[in-house]
Structures are given as structure tokens and as C-alpha cells.
Amino acid sequence: MPFTLLLDGLYAKGPIIEICRKNKWEFMIVLKDKSLPSVWEEAEGLMRLDTKGECRYERTWQGRRQMFRWVNEIEYEYVSGKGKILTINVVTCDETWEEIDKKGCETTKTARHAWISSSPINRKNVHELCNLAGRKRWLQENNILKEKHQGYHYEHIFSHNWNAMRGYHYLMHIARMLNEMALHSISLTEHVKEVGFRLFIRKFRAVMTYRELDSERLRCLSESPGQLRLVYEENWKTSRSAA
């Protein structure tokens, strides 16, 4: 099954890229400013020579103005003098957007992102590879930030045994799920009083384990007529009383 590895800057190294190439794995790897200096030097030099904008693409995505630049087929020698040469593709994204600060003033924010791509970059695939693939790695990492920084003391490695590390990872997620459920259980107090504790447990178990959708009920809901009413009133008090 084909898949794409989304890796952070720690993996922007020759041996990792060579393993991906050998196994025919696609990848998008974060390229930090101080990583692979020879690659950065060549990429930035070639970008400056692109005066016609042939390897440049500008768009707006989620309220951010983006400027993509890329250079394909850069030769990277990662074992000096031993002939270990890889061909890689580099893409950068410079972003600009507006935010409201704590004082209520509008400020302009900027950011820059860069990746090493296994696939050559072009205008047709740059959005998909960078925005819809490369940036998804941050979403995965953000999902465990609470466990890392808000009391769980979750770190990358708690054991050098793979089964033990994997088991700890699952247990950590289960523990946090139980804590979140307990934290928000106050919202269910009235419902538990109404249906009883045992019935609530049965309903809760059904919600957590039942995966089959009621297609007939969904069909009826989609076919049921709906109403959209637009009412304009010049007087706010009149519209409020009418509501």
C-alpha cells in the first residue's frame, strides 16, 4: 500500500532519505534553517535565479497569503568522499496573515516553512504536498501536547523496548480519555438522574462500541423538508419581541 511519511526536522538526514528511497516510501520532511547547509545554499541560489517565476506559486489558504518556491533535483552528498549522493526536492512557503493582539490592534504575522519532498514539486501538486500533507504532521503532534505539557509528563521515549513503549503510549491515551470524560461528566448529571445509572452505562457502552450507521434514519433525515426563514425588522426591539 503506498503511503507518505510526514517527518520532523530530526529526520532530515542522508541515511533516512536513503532508506525511504530504497523502500519506495514517499516523504515530506521538515527542513530547518540550519539543517543540510549545502542543500540550502544551492536551493536559495537557484531560487534567486528564477526571475521568471517558473518555480513559484502564490495563493491564499485559510486566510493566509502564501508564496511557494521550490527547486527540484538537488544533488546532496551526505558521506563526503564516498560517493553517497541523493537527489532531493526542496520547497519553501512564506506566509503572511493578520491577527488581533491583546490590545485589540491588528498586527501582521509572518512565518516560513520548508520541506524536503520525495516528489518533484510543481504548481499542480504544491498545495496538496505542503498544505494537505506536510502540515498534517503538526496536527498529529498537537494532539499529544496536553499529555506532554499539562501534567502527564509524556516524553518521546519511556523505554527502548518497542512493545513496552507502544503499550505505554496506548495507556497514556486511555488515561487521558478517562480524565477528560471525568472532567466533563458534570454536564451529564441531569441526564443520569433522568435515565438512571445502569441505563446510562448501557447507552454509553453502545456509543463507544457501536459502529454501524442507521442508513434508513439518515436517508429520512436527508429527505425531510426544511425551512429557512429570513425576517428583516428595522426596529431591534420589534424583531426581538417577534422572535
For residue range 122-171, what is the model confidence (pLDDT) as tens digits? 999 999 999 999 888 776 666 677 777 777 777 766 778 888 888 888 88
Residue 113: inside a domain, yes or no? yes
Largest Cα–Cα separation, the chain: 83
Residue 205: inside a domain, yes or no? no
More confident residue, 186 or 52: 52
DSSP H helices, 113-196, are 126-129, 136-142, 145-149, 162-184, 189-195
**By C-alpha distance, which of 194, 196, 140, 197 is closest to 169?**
140
Rounded average pLDDT over 169-193: 83
**By C-alpha distance, which of 70, 8, 66 is closest to 44?**
70
Rounded average pLDDT over 69-98: 88
- Range name among 119-123, 203-207, 237-241 with the lowest pLDDT average: 237-241
**By C-alpha distance, which of 1, 2, 6 is closest to 132?**
6
Residue 239: inside a domain, yes or no? no
Confidence band for 185, pLDDT divided at 50, 70 and 90:
confident
Q: What is the CATH number of the domain that holds 80?
A: 3.90.350.10
Residue 240 pLDDT greater than 50, yes or no: no
**By C-alpha distance, which of 134, 157, 135, 154 is closest to 144?**
154
Residue 41: inside a domain, yes or no? yes
Report the alpha-carbon distance of residue 71 to residue 121 in Å, rounded. 8
Residues in contact with 179: Cβ distance below 8 Å, sequence separation at least 6, in sequence order: none
Other beta carbons within 10 Å of 21: 14
Distance of CA 206 to the CA centre of its chain: 30
Residue 223: inside a domain, yes or no? no
What's the total number of domains in the chain?
A: 1
Strand, coil or helix: 55: coil
Report the alpha-carbon distance of residue 112 to residue 135 in Å, rounded. 12
Q: Do residues 239 and 233 make contact, with C-beta atoms less than 8 angstroms apart?
A: yes
Residue 63: inside a domain, yes or no? yes
Report the alpha-carbon distance of residue 50 to residue 213 in Å, rounded. 53
Q: For residue 25, what are the domain limits?
A: 4-143
Residue 71: inside a domain, yes or no? yes
Residue 10: inside a domain, yes or no? yes
User: Which pLDDT value is given to residue 65?
Assistant: 95
